[in-house]
Amino acid sequence: MSADFTTLTVEQLSRHYGRRKALHRVSLACHAGDIIGLLGPNGAGKSTLLSILATVLAPSEGHVRYGTLTAASGGAALRGRIGMLGHDLFLYPELSALENLVFFGNLYGLADAEARAKAALARTGLGDRAHDAVAGFSRGMRQRVALERALLHEPRLLLLDEPFTGLDQASTRALVERLRQVQRAGTMTVLATHDLDTVDGLLTRECILRQGRLLGVDASQGTLRDRYHATVHGA
Amino acid sequence: MTRVQQLQLALAGAMLAVAPWIIDGAPYESTMGLVQKIFYFHMPSAWLFLIAALVAGVASARFLFGRAPSADYWAVAAAEMAVVFGIITLVTGPLWARKAWGLWWVWDARLTSSLILWLIFVAYLLLRRFGGPGSDKLGAGMALFGLVNVPFIFVSVNVWRTLHPQTSVVPTLPVEMGAPLWFCLTAFLLLFLALMSMRAGLARQRARIEALYLSEEEA
Amino acid sequence: MRQFLRVAWLVVQKDLRVESRSFEVVSTTLFFSVTVVLIFAFGLVREGRPADDVAAAILWIALAFSGTLALGRTFERERQAETLRALLMAPADRPALYVGKLAGMLVLLVLIEAVLVPLIGLLFQAPILRYPWSLAGLLLAGTVGFSAVGTLFAAMLVRARSRDVLLPILLYPMTVPVMIMGVRGTAALFQATPDEPLARFCLAFLVFIDVVFVTLALWTFEPVMTD
Query: Helix, strand or coil for residue A235?
Result: coil
Q: Measure the CA–CA gap between A148 and B42, rounded to whole angstroms.
A: 65
Q: What is the mean pLDDT of residues C105-109?
A: 96
Summarised one tens digit per residue, pLDDT across range C167-204 is: 999 999 999 999 999 999 999 999 888 888 899 999 99
Chain B neighbors of C220, CB-CB under 8 A: 64, 141, 144-145
Identify the pLDDT of residue A235.
47
Q: Do residue A107 and residue C85 have CB atoms under 8 angstroms apart?
A: no
In this model, does residue B66 exceed pLDDT 60?
yes
With bands split at pLDDT 50, 70 and 90, how would you rate the model's confidence at B164? very low
Query: Helix, strand or coil for residue A45?
Result: coil
In this model, does residue B196 exceed pLDDT 80?
yes
The percentage of residues in chain C with a pLDDT greater than 90, rounded to a whole number, is: 77
Q: Measure the CA–CA gap between C73 and C18, rounded to whole angstroms.
A: 12
Spatial neighbors of B114 by CB under 8 A, at least 6 apart, are B46, B49, B86, B89, B90, B93
Identify the pLDDT of residue C10.
95
With bands split at pLDDT 50, 70 and 90, how would you rate the model's confidence at C162? confident
Q: What is the mean pLDDT of residues B118-122?
A: 96
Q: Do residue B214 and residue A19 have CB atoms under 8 angstroms apart?
A: yes
Check: pTM over 0.95? Answer yes or no: no
Summarised one tens digit per residue, pLDDT across range C25-64 is: 999 999 999 999 999 888 888 877 777 788 999 999 999 9
Closest CA to C63 of C134, C147, C123: C147
Query: C67 to chain B nearest CA, in Å?
Result: 19
Asked if B68 has any chain C CB less than 8 Å from its own CB, the reply is: no
Domain ranges in chain B are 3-218
Summarised one tens digit per residue, pLDDT across range A171-204 is: 888 889 999 999 999 899 999 988 888 888 888 8
Identify the pLDDT of residue C85.
92
Give the distance from CA A183 to its chain's centroid: 12
Q: Do residue A19 and residue B213 have CB atoms under 8 angstroms apart?
A: yes
Domain residues for C23?
2-224
Asked if A76 has any chain C CB less than 8 Å from its own CB, the reply is: yes
Q: What is the mean pLDDT of chain A?
A: 87
Identify the pLDDT of residue B176.
60
R_g of chain B computed on alpha carbons: 20
- The residue ranking higher by pLDDT, C96 or B172, is C96
Q: Do residue A90 and residue C86 have CB atoms under 8 angstroms apart?
A: yes
How big is the B-C interface in CB pairs under 8 Å?
88
Q: Which chains touch C (3 or more CB pairs under 8 A)?
A: A, B
Identify the pLDDT of residue B170.
45
C70, C29 Cβ separation under 8 angstroms: yes
Summarised one tens digit per residue, pLDDT across range C71-92 is: 999 999 999 889 999 999 999 9
Cβ-count burial A130-149 (b if 16+ within 10 Å, e if not): beebbeebeeebbbbbbbbb
Amino acid at B215: S
- Give the residue on B whose Cα is nearest the Cα of A25: B218
Identify the pLDDT of residue A217.
65
Identify the pLDDT of residue A2.
61
Identify the pLDDT of residue B173.
54
Q: Measure the CA–CA gap between C219 and B152, rounded to whole angstroms.
A: 19
Q: Which of residues 41-60 of B touch A (CB under 8 A)?
A: none
- Give the residue on B whose Cα is nearest the Cα of C163: B131
In this model, does residue B163 exceed pLDDT 50?
no
Asked if B217 has any chain A CB less than 8 Å from its own CB, the reply is: yes
With bands split at pLDDT 50, 70 and 90, how would you rate the model's confidence at C133? very high
Identify the pLDDT of residue B168.
44
- The residue ranking higher by pLDDT, C141 or A216, is C141
Q: Measure the CA–CA gap between C120 and C34, rounded to whole angstroms.
A: 10
- Give the residue on B whose Cα is nearest the Cα of C155: B138
In this model, does residue B136 exceed pLDDT 50?
yes
Query: Helix, strand or coil for residue C109?
Result: helix
Of all helices (H) and strands (E), which one includes residue B50? helix B39-66
Residue A72, Cβ density class (10 Å: 0-12 exposed, 13-18 middle, ≥19 buried): exposed
B193, B152 Cβ separation under 8 angstroms: no
Residues of chain A with pLDDT under 70: 1-2, 216-221, 234-235
Q: Do residue C177 and residue B137 have CB atoms under 8 angstroms apart?
A: no
Q: Measure the CA–CA gap between B162 and B168, rounded to whole angstroms.
A: 15
As for the ipTM of the complex, it is 0.90
Lowest mean pLDDT among A204-208, B100-104, B145-149: B100-104
Q: Do residue C91 and residue A108 have CB atoms under 8 angstroms apart?
A: yes
Q: What is the mean pLDDT of chain C?
A: 92
CA distances to A93, C158, C170 from C79, in Å: 12, 6, 19
Q: Which chains touch B (3 or more CB pairs under 8 A)?
A: A, C
Identify the pLDDT of residue A49.
93
Summarised one tens digit per residue, pLDDT across range B34-51 is: 777 888 888 899 999 999
Give the distance from CA A56 to its chain's centroid: 14
Q: How many domains does chain C have?
A: 1
Identify the pLDDT of residue C1.
82
Q: Measure the CA–CA gap between A142 and A93, rounded to whole angstroms.
A: 9
Give the best-scoring range by mean pLDDT among A231-235, B11-15, B176-180, C201-205: C201-205
Q: Measure the CA–CA gap between C163 and B148, rounded to whole angstroms.
A: 23
Closest CA to A89 of A30, A21, A140: A140
8-state DSSP, A190: E
A43, A24 Cβ separation under 8 angstroms: no
The number of residues making up chain A comes to 235
Of all helices (H) and strands (E), which one includes residue A178? helix A169-184
Q: Measure the CA–CA gap between A116 and A122, rounded to whole angstroms.
A: 10
A34, A205 Cβ separation under 8 angstroms: yes
Please report the beta strands in A18-151, taking only residues with DSSP state E, as ranges in sequence order: 20-31, 35-39, 61-66, 82-85
Please report the beta strands in chain C, taking only residues with DSSP state E, as ranges in sequence order: 45-46, 49-50
Identify the pLDDT of residue B169.
46
Identify the pLDDT of residue B217.
66
Q: Measure the CA–CA gap between C121 and C125, rounded to whole angstroms.
A: 5
Please state which CATH number belongs to domain B3-218: 1.20.120
